[in-house]
Structure 1
């Protein structure tokens, strides 16, 4: 039988982890990015599976490579591989997989409730690699990249421009848990953050003397920020119901004019990018863009998450995040 002596940990939503647990995951990811962690294969003899119903370049590769680098064995499922496609209930699929695997990294086109059904048996770790409502491992990546690039998280000021999608929701549930941070969210009308995420983010901000502000125009921007962040307007797996939606998004493009307002800011993008839509090529490929270094942090974020779920992590060194 598989060893079930250690508690099962899931990462389904950032709301499910404490501040200390989030700090520990980000701290470990940052340590991997700096090369400060010896590769002693902490997940040897573990089996990690990936299950992606929708396309993925960075997240799937990061978790696959990360699991292998940490010593785990890897099983990969494509969208047509499991018996869900013949009508098996999701909970039954999860129950069976949990008898054989140590972790399942899953990307679905549904809300996180589906992953909770799989995780409810508590026999394997379930990691949300993106659902319709949240992309928690992207937020881990983003915080690790910000920490590596800017040297701190406490007090950072971030301007997020574009759709209030699952990446934006995850960022709003993570950044305000660091002391004194400021997150300015600017989205087109009708495309804002999900209300539950915005409300919870406000609670985190209050607890940590941070700020989250959402508006649906590009007026009254902050005087200065450390990061300008956008995502592509056509989020994976979603469809805009307004045929003229791009007109609403046009004012929210990140271009050189916007970046010149914040001369000390770096530019971030979770990729893939559509040059000429959400961001101009001169910005994405310019000297202030860290988008591709940010993408590299997908690997380090995946390793931090996997190690937290399957091997446990010591408390974070909070001095490293200040």
Structure 2
């Protein structure tokens, strides 16, 4: 098991902002690597437990397959399978699971719960999605942009809710030197504490951040256009939220203001006909399925880095 004095957790993508470029390059190298990948098993003998409070397609499959490819044993724990937060505290669950596992991923509703689990676990904990952050998605997003880097001319434009996906896209984007612009309806702006962290990172990298309530202004000249569903899982009770997003659909008229070679991105699942039209998501500019695949490769880099950093460096040196 990991040494609790040196173990690292991933709660938000800026936890690894200094290493992010290397983590993404590692994922790209491994994805397109040589036969050495078949023999490189940095998680051999390790068990990685993944806790799910929310249903998942991409997160569950990408972690299970990714851990297996790295030689580890994936263990999926659904909310009804364990006593987390019910008859057992998060702290006690963290202590118990740390005795069995070499790493934990946690897809949860409340970010505070992810922080609590990480605080009391003695093995690395990865936030696989919370209401405030989605770092694994951001790692995959920036990996996808890097793979298409030669054709990206312009800033990253976000259109929609200032939500968890945008928070980490912003933090990752400015960490890697991208300019980021966003358009949200009034009242749905990103979290101010996240914005403060992003501005601090941008000041170091020379990136710019701009926000408005006008999607056309935001996407004008963009090299990347990114959106997400307007009403996230667990927010169905928020009255009138969907109505606030009228005029924010990413459609052919809106994307006509971007660079002609723009990339269209979406973390999926998409509600076609709501936040995006079929014509856009199925267009040659769309890289949404590259993003989905890259969840696995980016997470494999993160898992190796957090659970066996020496092996991560060894493979990077070989590459």
Taking structure 1 as the reference length, the TM-score comes to 0.90
- 1:140 equivalent to 2:139? Answer yes
Structure-2 change in CA distance of 1:80 and 1:124 (3 Å): same
Counterpart selection for 1:260 from 240, 252, 256? 256
| Secondary structure, counterpart of 1:84 in structure 2 | coil
What is residue 224 of structure 2 aligned with on the other side?
A: 227
Residue by residue over 1:54-96, the C-alpha shift from the partner in whole angstroms, topping out at 9 and shown as x without a partner, is: 0111011111110000000121111111123642110000010
Contact between 1:27 and 1:316, CA under 8 Å: does it hold in 2? Answer: no
Question: For the residues of structure 2 that align with 1:76 and 1:220, how far apart are their CA atoms?
Answer: 43
Contact between 2:219 and 2:254, CA under 8 Å: does it hold in 1? Answer: no
Question: For the residues of structure 2 that align with 1:158 and 1:3, how far apart are their CA atoms?
Answer: 37
Counterpart selection for 1:210 from 204, 207, 211? 207
Structure richer in helix, relative to its length: 2
Deviation at 1:281, TM superposition (A): 0.6
Matches within 5 A, 1:1-322: 2=1, 4=3, 7-19=6-18, 21-35=19-33, 38-39=37-38, 40-84=40-84, 86-111=86-111, 113-151=112-150, 157-179=155-177, 181-221=178-218, 223-239=220-236, 241-243=238-240, 245-262=241-258, 263-312=260-309, 313-314=312-313
Residue by residue over 1:184-213, the C-alpha shift from the partner in whole angstroms, topping out at 9 and shown as x without a partner, is: 111111111111111111111111110111
Contact between 2:54 and 2:107, CA under 8 Å: does it hold in 1? Answer: yes
| Secondary structure, counterpart of 1:207 in structure 2 | helix
Contact between 1:24 and 1:314, CA under 8 Å: does it hold in 2? Answer: no
> Please, which runs of 5 or more residues in structure 1 have no aligned partner?
none
Residue by residue over 1:250-292, the C-alpha shift from the partner in whole angstroms, topping out at 9 and shown as x without a partner, is: 2111001112222121111110001110000111111111111
| Secondary structure, counterpart of 1:283 in structure 2 | helix
Deviation at 1:5, TM superposition (A): 9.1
Taking structure 2 as the reference length, the TM-score comes to 0.91
RMSD: 2.3
Deviation at 1:28, TM superposition (A): 1.4
Contact between 1:158 and 1:226, CA under 8 Å: does it hold in 2? Answer: yes
Question: For the residues of structure 2 that align with 1:85 and 1:210, how far apart are their CA atoms?
Answer: 40
Question: For the residues of structure 2 that align with 1:228 and 1:125, how far apart are their CA atoms?
Answer: 33
Question: For the residues of structure 2 that align with 1:90 and 1:229, how far apart are their CA atoms?
Answer: 34
> Does 210-219 or 86-95 show the bigger shift?
210-219
Deviation at 1:237, TM superposition (A): 2.6
Question: For the residues of structure 2 that align with 1:108 and 1:203, how far apart are their CA atoms?
Answer: 27
Deviation at 1:311, TM superposition (A): 1.3
Structure-2 change in CA distance of 1:316 and 1:265 (3 Å): farther
> Does 118-127 or 207-216 show the bigger shift?
118-127
Residue by residue over 1:140-189, the C-alpha shift from the partner in whole angstroms, topping out at 9 and shown as x without a partner, is: 00000111122499x8511110111100011111110123x210111111
